[in-house]
Each structure stands twice: as structure tokens, then as C-alpha cells.
């Protein structure tokens, strides 16, 4: 739950509430179980295509009108980046490691753009609240002493007025003129005191809210930094896995060339991997094994051994289960 927005008082123009944007976080949470089930059912390519279709062609606009809309935009951003992460995962399980790197890079660029929008939206808010806190602090520092100064003067005059009104005290004409002049000044003092009494609670509220608002702003910035950091980590990992495999294939092919073996793309390496079944069966779980077989089929499309192993997994068998030989028909007795 996002914290409720704080109103800056006293002079704030209310912003008309815009229509609620598509909630990508809610959509992601709704769609995730189905995508995970597709991956468990060895439908990685189909899952990859489905997730891609769920991602908006254009990144949703970042609404920086106020803290509440900024919070909604950050929630939406988390949903969008989660879709990118899921898309990359599906691409990886489909064996499309190069595509997974590309998607992770898009995720990183999107996270960086979101932070830029956030900074643009929050900068004036932060400045506004920092100024409000200083102004309120200054007002309270001057207003409270002035209030203590005015209250006894006004109270004394009112007490004197009540005494004159009751007839207990009589004034000369000169004293009456002086009293009336004081009364005019007291009227001004009462107006000033009323303004102070009305403004002090507002400034105290602003002073109390400012640290809370600035914390929300700082938390939003920290959240955006976390989005970028997570995306950077995923890009680095995806690149590392791809580079490690490419280096392994290059080293293998180089050794084969030295042995005067004819190299056919990456097929030689794929065949060598498949000859040792443990390269597949040691992987934890059928889903992981299927993902690696998908990768081998990307490197060597149509590889019969990899295709057969993948079919076996889809049928609930071990990857390299041997087909049962048909029973021999008994010969007819003469």
C-alpha cells in the first residue's frame, strides 16, 4: 500500500483526478500463474509470445501531478518491469538467449526512463515542501511570541470595557477619547490574533507533514534505483551466460579444427553435449532440462536427438528413455 498523499496548506490548488490508468501490477499478478503453467507444460515459445503481447507498445505515461498519482505510476512501472522480466525468462526457457539479453536491455532502458520521469515529477514537489517547511518554521517562530504578546493586552482591554459598561468606573471626556482610540487599535490587534490563531495550526501541520512527504519522495527514488539495479544485474547475468556458452563453443570448435574435423556451425558442439546424457539429466527438474534442450535446438535447429529428448519430457518420460521394442509375434505351430 502506498502512503496517503499529504496536502500542502494553506494555498493549494486541487488537481482534478484523472481516469485510473491500466494497473499493470494487477494484470501481471493475474497472468503470472497461467504463464508459469505454460512453462511447466513445456510451452516456452508460446509463453514468450503471449507475454510479449501483454506488454504495452508504448510505455504508460508517468503521472507526476501529485504524490498519489506518482505512487500509482510507480506501481504501474513495477508491473511493466515485471512483464519484461517474465518475457526474458520465457525467452531464456525457449532457448532464445540472445533475445533474453535484448529484452533485459529493454527492461534496463525502461527503468532508467522511469527514474528520469520520477525525478522530473518530484523535483518541484520536493522544493515546494522544503520551502513550506522553512516558511512554516519561520511563521511559528514569529507567530507564537506575537500571540502571547497580544492576548493579555486584548484581555485587559475587554475587562476594562466590561467594567465601564457596568458603570463601576467613570471616565472624563479626555479619558473616554483615549479609551476609544485604544479600542480602535485593539480591534486591529484582535484581527491580527485571529489570523495568527487560524494560521498556526496550518503551519504546524505543514511542519509535521514535510518530513513525511520528503521521506515518500526519497523512498520513491530508492525504489527507482532498485528497479535499475535489478535490471542491470539481470542484463549482466544474461550476457555472462551467453558469453560463457559462446566461449565454450569457440574453444571446442577450435580444438576440432586442429584435429582436422569439419565444423558445421554449432552442430559439432551440440552433438558432443548430447552424447553425454548427464549434460542434460544432471539439470534440476524436467523443466530445466527442457529449457536447455530448447537452447540446443536453437543452436542446431532440427537436431534429432535433442528433439526426441524434448518429446520424451513432454510425454512425462526421462529425456533419454529408450522406446520399448515391439514384442515378436509367436510362430504358428505346424
Q: How many angstroms separate the Cα of 27 from the Cα of each of 23, 44, 63, 80, 227?
A: 6, 20, 19, 9, 19
Is the same domain home to 154 and 290? no
Q: Has residue 325 been placed in a domain?
A: no
In a domain, 15, yes or no: no
pTM surpassing 0.85? Answer: no
**DSSP label at 66?**
S
Place of cell 538467449: 97
| Integer Cα distance of 105 and 245 in angstroms | 19
Domain total of the chain: 3
In this structure, is residue 62 part of a structural domain? yes
Is residue 35 in a domain?
yes
Task: Count the helix, strand and coil residues of the chain and give each as a percent rounded to the nearest 5.
Answer: 75, 0, 25
Is there a single domain that holds both residue 32 and residue 181? no
- Residues 202, 276 share a domain: no
> Domain range holding 204?
140-211
Check: CB of residue 297 under 8 Å from CB of residue 303: yes
- C-alpha grid cell for residue 56? 504495452
Query: Do 61 and 176 belong to one domain?
Result: no
Q: Which three cell numbers stand for residue 237?
A: 547475468
* CATH number of the domain that residue 93 is part of: 1.25.40
Q: What is the secondary structure of 139-180 as a DSSP string? A: HHHHHHHHHHHHHHHHHHHHHHHHHHHTTS----HHHHHHHH
pLDDT tens for the 334 residues of the chain, in order: 454 455 555 433 333 344 445 689 999 999 999 999 999 999 999 999 999 999 999 999 999 999 999 999 999 999 999 999 999 999 999 999 999 999 999 999 999 999 999 999 999 999 999 999 999 999 999 999 999 999 999 998 888 888 787 777 777 788 777 878 888 888 898 999 999 999 999 999 999 999 999 999 999 999 999 999 999 999 999 999 999 999 999 999 898 888 887 878 899 999 999 999 999 999 999 999 999 999 999 999 999 999 999 999 999 999 998 876 665 665 555 4
Asked whether residue 2 is assigned to any structural domain, the reply reads: no
Say whether both 50 and 118 belong to one domain.
yes
Sequence-distant (6+) residues with CB within 8 A of 297 are 95, 303, 306, 307, 310
Amino acid at each position: 500500500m502506498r502512503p496517503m498523499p499529504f496536502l500542502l496548506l494553506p494555498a493549494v490548488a486541487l488537481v482534478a483526478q484523472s481516469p485510473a490508468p491500466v494497473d499493470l501490477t494487477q494484470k501481471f499478478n493475474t497472468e503470472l500463474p497461467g504463464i508459469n503453467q505454460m512453462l511447466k507444460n513445456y510451452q516456452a515459445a508460446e509463453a514468450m509470445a503471449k507475454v510479449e503481447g501483454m506488454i504495452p507498445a508504448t510505455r504508460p505515461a508517468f503521472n507526476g501531478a501529485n504524490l498519489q498519482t506518482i505512487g500509482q505510476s510507480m506501481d504501474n512501472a513495477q508491473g511493466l518491469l515485471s512483464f519484461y522480466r517474465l518475457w526474458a525468462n520465457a525467452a531464456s526457457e525457449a532457448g532464445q538467449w540472445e533475445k533474453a539479453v535484448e529484452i533485459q536491455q529493454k527492461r534496463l532502458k525502461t527503468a532508467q526512463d522511469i527514474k528520469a520521469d520520477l525525478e522530473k515529477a518530484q523535483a518541484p514537489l520536493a522544493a515546494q515542501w522544503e520551502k513550506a517547511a522553512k516558511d512554516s518554521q519561520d511563521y511559528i517562530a514569529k507567530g507564537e511570541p506575537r500571540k502571547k504578546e497580544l492576548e493579555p493586552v486584548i484581555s485587559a482591554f475587554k475587562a476594562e470595557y466590561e467594567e465601564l459598561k457596568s458603570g463601576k468606573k467613570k471616565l472624563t471626556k479626555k479619558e473616554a477619547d483615549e479609551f476609544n482610540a485604544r479600542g480602535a487599535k485593539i480591534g486591529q490587534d484582535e484581527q491580527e490574533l485571529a489570523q495568527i490563531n487560524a494560521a498556526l495550526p496550518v503551519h504546524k501541520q505543514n511542519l509535521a507533514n514535510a518530513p513525511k512527504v520528503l521521506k515518500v519522495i526519497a523512498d520513491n527514488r530508492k525504489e527507482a534505483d532498485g528497479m535499475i539495479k535489478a535490471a542491470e544485474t539481470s542484463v549482466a547475468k544474461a550476457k555472462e551466460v551467453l558469453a560463457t556458452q559462446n566461449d565454450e563453443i569457440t574453444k571446442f570448435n577450435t580444438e576440432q579444427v586442429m584435429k582436422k574435423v569439419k565444423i558445421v556451425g554449432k552442430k559439432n558442439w551440440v552433438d558432443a553435449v548430447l552424447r553425454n546424457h548427464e549434460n542434460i539429466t544432471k539439470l534440476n527438474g524436467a523443466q530445466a532440462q527442457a529449457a536447455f534442450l530448447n537452447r540446443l535446438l536453437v543452436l542446431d535447429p532440427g537436431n534429432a536427438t535433442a528433439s526426441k529428448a524434448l518429446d520424451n519430457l513432454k510425454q512425462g518420460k526421462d529425456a533419454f528413455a529408450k522406446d520399448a521394442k515391439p514384442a515378436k509375434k509367436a510362430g504358428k505351430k505346424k
